[in-house]
Every structure is written in structure tokens, then in C-alpha cells.
Structure 1
């Protein structure tokens, strides 16, 4: 905690965000209300929410890495990624019809989904160790959402708000691609069948495996492992696009495969 924040401040912020999931009413930016709020404070608020939901019986399915593109980092004035968590009840499959009303202000991002075949326990995980732990690579879409009003976020706001994670969609058939080819893979993001964005895997920190190693090491410093069987999303190929009920979103990896979800 920073010198100006208290445990009560952090718990109040966590409770506000937990309440926003239920009410679908966003909260004002936390940075404006917690004096001297630090990144450490923000992750503490995120962790309080994780423990709250685990205590309710929800099951951790994996982690997401955000802020992996240079453009997004520059937009928020940061120089490193962030991370969040998602539960099994937040994971949808290819072809899913997802109620748009379950979110406050959703947007979609095309990503890889790494299914881990080995546990990664940092610190000290290398790129090669991270790559070797990937069992299968799936097409994925992250539905990002913000419990902060009007997406008015800086780094501490999004970190506290579980890195703006809303839900995950993942394909059922792995992409036919090797780990060492990921940076050159192209993906298009389509809304209602129309290509709206395109990007290459190298947009994800120059190497989509790099966020996996980074995450394993950051969590490892806290005594937390990335477990075999978990799904890890390393970051988006493109900028995020808003979606509303009646629209579909497709992550199209060309001949490698695709993933489509619909919002109802």
C-alpha cells in the first residue's frame, strides 16, 4: 500500500467493483478518489476481488495479459503489460450466443489462446520455457469490459478492475501453427462479417510468447504459478471494437482457423 492508502480504502474499492458486476452501474475512476493510488494498490484491489469470487465457489480458468501493444501502452502512459483473471463461467466457445446485457460497455479483441500443458512457476522463466509449456494454440476473443464509467481509465483503474476483463471466447479446434511462427500470423477482426481491423502476432510485445513468460515471472514473485490446464490470453492483435446486441464478432486467422461469437 502507498503511504496515503489504507486497507479500508482498498476493500471499499474492491466492494464497489464487485457491486458493479451485479448492478451493471459503473463507478467513477478510482484514481480520482484514492489519493496517491499506486500500481501495487491496484493489484491489491484486484486480488481482493479474486479471493471474494473464489470464496463464492467460482473456479479460476486462466489469466489474461493486457496492454501488450506499443500503441495502447503509449495511450495509457505505461511501459509494461498488466494482467487479470477469468473464471470458467466466463469462458464461451465458438458459435456462442452471449447476452450483451451481461456487460456494461463491452468491446472485443482478437487473440491467441494458449492452453498450458505444463505448470510455469516463476521467477526466472525464460522465453524457451514458456514456449515449451504451450500445449495447444486456439483462436480466441477477449470481451473486455470496464466497470469504470465511460472507459475513463488510467493504468491503476484498469488493473484494479481486473485488467478490464469481461469474458473469454475460445475455439474448439487448435490453430495449425507452431509456437515459433506466431509473430508472423495475421488475424482479422470482423464485426457482422465485415473486416474492421487487421494485425500481426508481432503486435503482441513483438512475440506473443513474451507476455506468457512475463506473466509467469510476475506471478511467480507472489508465489503464484500458472497451472497446467489453464488458458492464457497473451494480448490483442488489434485495437478493441465496441459491440452491441445483434452483432457478431469474428477472429479470422485465415487458413489457420477462426472463431465467431454473437451478442444477443
Structure 2
């Protein structure tokens, strides 16, 4: 692994460990790319993400699934990409529905409502059909992803967010599983409220036209990378509406038609000055 990529990974880990946001790492990606012209910046950014994920696992953190980002067409156009990205979900990133979230548990938190899918079968093929995916999904849950960035002021480009584990922060799952046949994943409406006041609205179609499209892309991508999705994995399929910045004491509730509600509650006081 190129020394510049190791430096990028170290910078992100130190920012996470110390709670102080760091400078973007895209310059280090560019430095590595200059020495490895046969590579591409996206693959190098994923190398940084994978390096830190391996270190996290060696320290005992348990991966429990994947998150999908950049599922909104508008965000893809903003970053000049034509496909989503992904990051690793770890068990220690999960928080209980409505339970207080310590403010310093997530860097520069923003909140978005999503549909989570939980698998009951492996997805090992490099090209899956929709039928493969439908058979593999046990149930869906409403979810709130607390997106976080280790990079100061969210000054990110595509390679920054990929390297930073797709800006993964925390996630909260609802507690009432629903079978897919009971859902309209495309037409389901979503409302995200802050203490009862709507702050973001959307629908299933906002996620790559159908959350299953995002999940199918992820399944194929992970299989091609030799890390196929497995039974028990949680998939956060992507935002159903605009993300909203959080502040200490905020309580967000997401309601998704057919799935019910889930809440993310932030503690009232910041732990760090």
C-alpha cells in the first residue's frame, strides 16, 4: 500500500480517535495516483477505507453490514459520479430507538431517514437478479442514519467520503420488522421531523428510483470485490430525502409509510468543549 494512502488512513483514524476533524485527504490520494497511474482515485480511496476497516476488525469491532451512499441523483451530479458508494457498518455504531446518543459519538452529525434491509441468505454472485435479492431479504425496518465526517466542515469530494468509510457515523433501526410483500418500496412516503416539526420529506423512489436498485448494486459490487453480502447483514439502502444537521438535544423521528417510525435522540450536552 502506498505510503500516502497509509498517511490518509492514519489521518482519518486519528481524527476519529481524538474527536478533532482533519483536513481532506484527496491530496494524498492524488499523490498516490501520481505514482500509480494505472490505478484510479476511487479504487485508491476504497483501499484507504479497507485498510482502516481491517484495523478496526483486528481491534475487535464486528462488521454487521454495509451502508450505501450517494443514492440521490442530485448528489451524484454534484460530485460528478454515476453510481453510489458503500461503507462498513460495525456493531458498535448501532444505537437504540429513541435512546440518548452521546454528542461526541459522531463527528459533525447529520441525520437522514432510510429503509434498512436485513438478509437471511448470502448473495455470492457477481450478477444477481431481482429475484435473487427478493429471496435473500428477510425483512425491512425503518432506519435513521446519523452520517458523520471526520473531515473538517464537511469539505469533501468523492474520494474523501469513500476513504472516510462513506461518511458512516451511527445508525438507529426500528424494532418492528416488515416483510417486503407488505410494502410499496417505491411509493412509500417518508417524513423526518425534529421535535414534531417536519424537516425533510421524500419517498422510496428518491433512492435510485427504488431501494432495491441500491441493494442490487451493492450485492453485485461486493461479490465482485470478493466480499459478498452474507445472511444476517444489515443494508442501509440510502436516504429517502435531504439530510438535516443535528445539534445537542435534538430528537428526530422518521416515519416511513408501511414501516412505522424510528427516533434518534441526541444528548443535550456536548462532552467536549
- What is residue 270 of structure 2 aligned with on the other side? none
For residue 260 of structure 2, what is the aligned residue in structure 1?
257
Q: 2:169 aligns with which of 152, 161, 166?
A: 166
C-alpha distance in 2 between matches for 1:90 and 1:103: 9
Residue-by-residue CA offset, 1:159-181 (whole Å, 9 max, x unaligned): 00000000110011124653762
2:191 to 171, 188, 194: 188
Report which stretch shifted further, 247-256 or 67-76.
247-256
Larger mean Cα displacement after TM superposition, 219-228 or 27-36: 27-36
Q: Decide which of 104, 115, 125 is 1:112's aligned counterpart.
A: 115
CA–CA separation in structure 2 for the residues paired with 1:10 and 1:108: 29
Deviation at 1:32, TM superposition (A): 3.0
**Structure 2 residues without counterparts, runs of 5 or longer:** 34-40, 268-273
Deviations 1:232-263 (Å, cap 9, x if unpaired)? 01100011101011001111124641001200
TM-score scaled by structure 2?
0.91
Does 2:195 match 1:200? no
Query: Is the counterpart of residue 148 in structure 1 residue 184 in structure 2?
Result: no
Aligned residues of 1:123 and 1:217 also touching (Cα < 8 A): yes
Where does 1:214-225 land on structure 2 (aligned, <5 Å)? 214-225=217-228
Contact kept in structure 2, 1:60 and 1:86, CA below 8 Å: yes
Of 66, 85, 96, which aligns to 1:63? 66
Alignment of 1:38-77 (within 5 A): 38-77=41-80
Alignment match of 2:6 (pick from 5, 11, 29)? 11
How far apart in 1 are the matches of 2:98 and 2:21?
29
Residues 176, 256 of structure 1: 8 Å contact kept? no
User: Could you tell me whether the CA contact under 8 Å between 1:122 and 1:218 is conserved in 2?
Assistant: no
Q: Is the counterpart of residue 21 in structure 1 residue 24 in structure 2?
A: no
Across the aligned residues of Structure 1 and Structure 2, the Cα RMSD in angstroms comes to: 1.5
Structure 1 distance, partners of 2:236, 2:205, is 15
Partner secondary structure for residue 259 of structure 1: strand
| CA distance 1:53–1:236, change in 2 (3 Å) | same
Paired with 2:146 and 2:130, the residues of 1 have a C-alpha distance of: 27
Say if 1:122 and 1:219, in contact at 8 Å, map to a contact too. Answer: no
Give the Cα separation in 2 of the matches to 1:169 and 1:160: 23
Q: How many residues get paired?
A: 259
Stretches of structure 1 lacking an aligned partner (at least 5 in a row)? 1-5
Superposition TM-score, scaled by structure 1 size: 0.94
